[in-house]
Amino acid sequence: MKSERTIAVLHGYLLEGSGSNLWTRSIISSLCRRGKTVHLFCQENHGDIYPFITEMRIYERDGSCRVAWSRDPAEPGRCILHKPVLGDLLPVYVRDRYEEFSRVVPMIELSDNEIETYIERNVEVVARVVREEDIGIIHANHAVLMPEVARRVKKQCGTPFVVMPHGSAIEYAVKKDSRFRDFAAAAFRESAGMFVIGDEIRRRVLDLFPEINGLELKMRELNLGVDTTLFRTLEPAGRTEQIDDFLQYMAGVPHGRQADVPEKLRSGLENRSETSVAQLQKLFTEIGNYDHKKPDENLEESIRSIDWEHDEIMLFVGRFIAAKGLQAVVTALPDLLEQHPRLRLLAIGHGPQREVMEAFLWALERGDETLAGLIVAHGRDLEMGGLSGSYKEVEASWNSLGETGTLQWFERARNTIRRDTVVFTGYLTHPMLRYLFPCTDISVFPSVVAEAGPLVFLEALASGSFPLGTDFAGMGASIDSTIPWVGESVADAMRLRPDPHHLVSDIADRAHTVLGFDGTHREVLRKVAVDKYDWQSVSERMYEALQAWSE
């Protein structure tokens, strides 16, 4: 019987958050529960909050290594976290804030020398650990830059590697800069295999690299997963008690946004000397000086404002940027609120769109059409994230109504939107989200960009919160996957057309339909998650493939 090869996972970023961060910690936790040993390379500072991590080693730039801490395993297996000290620069795909790094820069903006320094620093540490720990196979996340690190380590040590492309690296680096396309192509050619999250990523990779012979033969599909022991269903009668448990869990958790920020925003909007993009940007910058990756200081007050047993609750969770579509959800509210006056929108997350959306809601509540129109016309400019332009989904919705219809829409908005219609919480982690998902009736994910595999969709399924999502790319595939359990008509109720001309009206129509359901769908949705998407079955398939590729 052949001995199992020890595996290493190259991630390069943090573990907290969504997307590939969530994928990494979920798959490694699952492998540890199955008794496996994993060596993880990333920039996480707080590995001790993850029970599956048993030790953290820090590699200084002078070549020394120190064990920051170690502990007995909480699972049958163990994960050792290896953190190379990089300096002040962290290359990323989308501009963000990261603890410890003063320069968090989209990698397409970096010089060749900066990119090379980053790659070689990682190669130095990974190659050292590969030799010391007798690593048999390396799994590299994303299309760049960790696969290039793995490729160079293979050249030094002979250790095979596999690649798992995620959408962000493809869209924001490989497609935008030939340097990163070249890195990805070299790694894809030399990899032993490739995991793809469904047909969406498969097609994207094959379309981008038609010159790589045999690339499709290397691919194995590995669907995303969900921790069905963490996310569970709940009957509406139990929501108040669940919320009490949530707030007890949150007691003592450090907070970010100060309780007086909403009033500062409203005061700034009310007392502005003019209505201009520049003045709004100045206001958002002035009040935005807080830790965006923590819950709000007034979280308890916000959560207590909801009548959890009688209100109808719609959840949006994700990064607050235009691409995630929160502006479309807010624009659908006036029509929904006329039919469902007890509807509340729970908006969870962080990002540059938050203050923009709060200003938009304030304008609608006050009937300030000039301010609302300016925000919609310059929404992406106001987010100040390097993008420019309008909220096309909102413009298309208003244009479809005609001048008279738009005026009537503003009147409906003024009559229905209240200060507490949308409840913002700030940034919440998944151990926190598990309390809230089951307390909602609908989860809406109207992303207007193609995503390989939305993990939040699966968490909604596992929690029995009826998911609505844009019907294309990975989201569309996830909706299709539910058909054998829920049937085509119920699956169709999940679908939002991503076309800007239909997105807002589809959110209103589908949400109205779903709120009319009798609640019997909850356990069926959960069954989809348990049968198809549980992390344990996903990690087992991954581990077997890695062992085969290591031979």
The whole-angstrom separation of Cα 465 and Cα 61 is 47
Kindly state the average pLDDT of the residues 495-518: 96
Q: What is the DSSP letter of 499?
A: S
Reported as a single tens digit per residue, the pLDDT across 177-222 is 999 999 999 999 999 999 998 888 999 999 999 999 999 999 999 9
The whole-angstrom separation of Cα 194 and Cα 204 is 13
Q: Which ranges of 238-276 does DSSP label H, i.e. alpha helix? A: 239-250, 261-270
Cα 162-164-166 angle, rounded to 5 deg: 160
Question: For residue 200, what pLDDT is reported?
Answer: 83
Question: Would you say residue 167 has pLDDT above 90?
Answer: no
Question: For residue 22, what pLDDT is reported?
Answer: 86
C-alpha Rg value of the chain to the nearest Å? 24
Reported as a single tens digit per residue, the pLDDT across 239-262 is 999 999 999 999 989 999 999 999
> Predicted confidence band at 224 (pLDDT cuts at 50, 70, 90)?
confident
pTM: 0.83
Pick from 161-165, 253-257, 274-278, 324-328: least confident: 274-278
In the chain, the amino acid numbered 93 is Y
Question: For residue 474, what pLDDT is reported?
Answer: 86
The whole-angstrom separation of Cα 100 and Cα 109 is 20
Reported as a single tens digit per residue, the pLDDT across 45-89 is 999 999 999 999 999 999 999 999 999 998 999 999 999 999 999
What values do phi and psi take at 36, rounded to 5?
-95, 155
Question: Which of these, 364, 460, 446, lies nearest to 406 by C-alpha position?
Answer: 364
> Predicted confidence band at 98 (pLDDT cuts at 50, 70, 90)?
confident
Q: Mean pLDDT in the chain?
A: 94
> Predicted confidence band at 272 (pLDDT cuts at 50, 70, 90)?
confident
Kindly state the average pLDDT of the residues 11-29: 90
In the chain, the amino acid numbered 462 is A
CATH numeric code, 6-225+534-549? 3.40.50.2000
Question: For residue 1, what pLDDT is reported?
Answer: 40
Q: Where are the domains of the chain?
A: 6-225+534-549, 236-445+480-516
Kindly state the average pLDDT of the residues 119-127: 98
The whole-angstrom separation of Cα 165 and Cα 470 is 21
Reported as a single tens digit per residue, the pLDDT across 352-408 is 999 999 999 999 999 999 999 999 999 999 987 666 899 999 999 999 999 999 999
pLDDT above 90 covers what percent of the chain? 87
Reported as a single tens digit per residue, the pLDDT across 413-443 is 999 999 999 999 999 988 899 999 999 999 9
Question: Would you say residue 278 has pLDDT above 60?
Answer: yes
Question: Which of these, 468, 342, 330, 511, lies nearest to 409 by C-alpha position?
Answer: 330
- Evaluate whether 168 touches 93 at the Cβ level (below 8 Å): yes
Question: For residue 385, what pLDDT is reported?
Answer: 64
